[in-house]
Structure 1
């Protein structure tokens, strides 16, 4: 018998975690669970229908950030689900694709061997120029309007739509920006009720201000080598007979869509989605001022997250910073909205019925439910950063 020496044996290949085109929330959660256990090469679809589902764009972006933080080096392999000549540009034009490519240390071609990092960086640079141009026709993709800052790729400063180009302070006129976004996404003639742009701008500002404070550094104050944050505006249309399709298998979201039936003036209901994401240490880590240990009970982590919403002040002197997440919840309650929050080991949601008269904020508004298990707050795979996805019904009719 010939003895084969250990050093001559081929190394075990790194598994390729490949998300299929039909993948949605549950498939993403299953994939996130794998990242903590072993290294992997990631492949996401170049054209992923999940992006057209509520919170799909930021969910997929958070998955990419979590994967990149778990791998050193983080290697992204391009998918072969589109023609070779358009595959790369198709991927970069989508929010999740841009984030995945920007956070990768190396990008290889669909053959699994060819290094295409340099070419992809050129495409990323071109896409960022479009997103930072302020020209919505260049920025918008389908019915998704991304406003993103990717810190480690910004040679000329942060996104001027979000920040003042000279001072770096948060944009002081969110109302103007929201009105422009709404005008680009929504045909007002098909809505029966007026849109409260000021309330939406306030919501937008509070969430982004919170994100701005915590996205770029870890809990020791050290800058992340790669960091990003942003807001994604989307218009979601839901036909009553197809709520299950729109909910992508999430019962809580399906039930929320069904609750609109009695108030809707027609079979189709339109929702404005405002989703905010960051690549920071997560809400519980911020509140704890230290990483969350694996042995911490999930109810304790939930309490830390809930505590973030109870703080109605900021330690910052800059008036651009938000005054607290309670304002977000009051705005959500006022419009009958739905929030999904994914941070740490938690996947939470809160839904409010439309038409509440004279709404006021109360601590009961912070009794979040588990997105998959309802009142039973349960462990979910660990994620990087935090994503808030808010759905606001439009034009329900009186």
Structure 2
């Protein structure tokens, strides 16, 4: 089986084929050809995690462009390990082979330590070897550096997620490397929003993604937080939307209405070219997914689900939605229960976009067309509780009768089941 093309729809088609696959190999390409569209990076990583979790011990990840006998093998491997989905394949696959089907040893990835060193030393621009303005923060469960150290601190001999103020300092450092032209005031403004998003989602995965739905820690696992700064204009928008109508609609609306849009004379066609920079934040884990962890850990009527096919799609969807309701918590900590709710609320304030993928479900938040449609539907209702499910399947969360955020189905029908949870977040900056 080959890696899918780097757009969401192609990846979803590949995920749908994983359940009944008979192919014992997955060909890992050194880099996705062409532009990696928005939301596809998280999807690629989740695809690899799902393949690996469902693979037999004898199944092989084939690194098709590597030659283990080549003099530049270590250099080539290190470049590939700057891509989180390649790291996932290297860590989680049962067996590893080069393009000639010669066996590779995991210890041969010793150069990857340089990326981890760069992460620990706050040299975020050196956490990969690509030409993109990006930062990769990755941790491997079961490894010597199991936690994303810039986001963690030791407390009573245990690692815990840092307070939001400390996370904000880290985010400012990352942004200063990715966008050195930004002024200090604007760095602080953007980092404040990102720090809240990152801290809540990292802590959420720390609570739940390191263990399966039985509460047993995984022998192997991966968690990744990546930042990517991309300038969108009228000419490259189709490439970065990957032809997806949701992403395209969101990007086009921002190019038309966002106050930070810049215009410049065109080089080859009439009119002006509009430009706007977006931060893509991807947060992916290899845990049991939102529904299985909620059902296994909810305050009442706990239920362990080994396979999602053992429950109905409605039951799974209800479990995911419970995770986003305010004051819902399965952690046993009464101070928690606003994390995912506050993340979604902040996205509304920052005009952000979200793609959530977990289990057999995918949701979106943030397109103006959806916002307008939902507000029109809400006006027709006489009374509005804190939560409403509309006839089209959209889940709307309200406060004092005002919509705070929503989760709308990404597509109609059931999707292929994935392992873990993936958040793809876009923020215009």
Is the TM-score greater than 0.5?
yes
State which of 8, 22, 28 in structure 2 corresponds to 1:44.
28
Query: Does 2:250 align with 1:256?
Result: yes
Separation in 2, partners of 1:67, 1:216: 18
Query: Does 2:274 align with 1:280?
Result: no
**CA offset at residue 72 of structure 1?**
1.6
State which of 330, 337, 346 in structure 1 corresponds to 2:352.
337
State which of 20, 23, 40 in structure 2 corresponds to 1:56.
40
Q: Which residue of 2 aligns with 1:107?
A: 96
Separation in 1, partners of 2:95, 2:237: 39
Select the structure that is richer in strand.
2
Secondary structure (helix, strand or coil) at the match of 1:128 reads helix
Q: Which residue of 1 aligns with 2:323?
A: 308
TM-score scaled by length of structure 2: 0.77
Separation in 2, partners of 1:246, 1:182: 21
TM-score scaled by length of structure 1: 0.83
State which of 161, 164, 173 in structure 2 corresponds to 1:170.
161
Label 1:123 to 1:72 Cα distance change in 2 as closer, same or farther (>3 A). Answer: farther
Query: Does 2:275 align with 1:268?
Result: yes
Unmatched segments (≥5 aa) in structure 1: 1-16
Q: C-alpha deviations, 1:107-139, integer Å up to 9, x for none?
A: 111012x11124534244444334333322322
Q: Which residue of 1 aligns with 2:197?
A: 203
Q: Which residue of 1 aligns with 2:420?
A: 385
1:65-104 aligned at under 5 Å gives the runs 65-73=49-57, 74-80=59-65, 85=72, 86-104=75-93
Secondary structure (helix, strand or coil) at the match of 1:274 reads strand
Secondary structure (helix, strand or coil) at the match of 1:134 reads coil
Separation in 2, partners of 1:211, 1:62: 14
Q: Which residue of 1 aligns with 2:381?
A: none
**CA offset at residue 215 of structure 1?**
0.8
**CA offset at residue 365 of structure 1?**
4.7
Maintained 8 Å contact 1:78/1:88: no
Q: C-alpha deviations, 1:296-348, integer Å up to 9, x for none?
A: 332332222111000425445597x7742110011100010000001000121
| Alignment root-mean-square deviation, CA | 2.9
Unmatched segments (≥5 aa) in structure 2: 263-273, 297-303, 372-385, 387-396
Q: Which residue of 2 aligns with 1:161?
A: 150
Maintained 8 Å contact 1:101/1:107: yes
Q: C-alpha deviations, 1:140-164, integer Å up to 9, x for none?
A: 542221112211122x553321221
Q: Which residue of 2 aligns with 1:18?
A: 2
Secondary structure (helix, strand or coil) at the match of 1:219 reads coil
Separation in 2, partners of 1:66, 1:274: 21
**CA offset at residue 198 of structure 1?**
1.6
Q: C-alpha deviations, 1:238-261, integer Å up to 9, x for none?
A: 112332211112111011111113
**CA offset at residue 53 of structure 1?**
2.6
Separation in 1, partners of 2:367, 2:186: 18
Moved more, 384-393 or 128-137: 128-137
Separation in 2, partners of 1:278, 1:311: 23
**CA offset at residue 231 of structure 1?**
1.4
Separation in 1, partners of 2:184, 2:172: 15
Separation in 2, partners of 1:42, 1:55: 21
Separation in 2, partners of 1:78, 1:175: 37
Maintained 8 Å contact 1:54/1:236: no
Q: Which residue of 2 aligns with 1:116?
A: 104
Query: Does 2:123 align with 1:132?
Result: no
* Number of matched pairs: 366
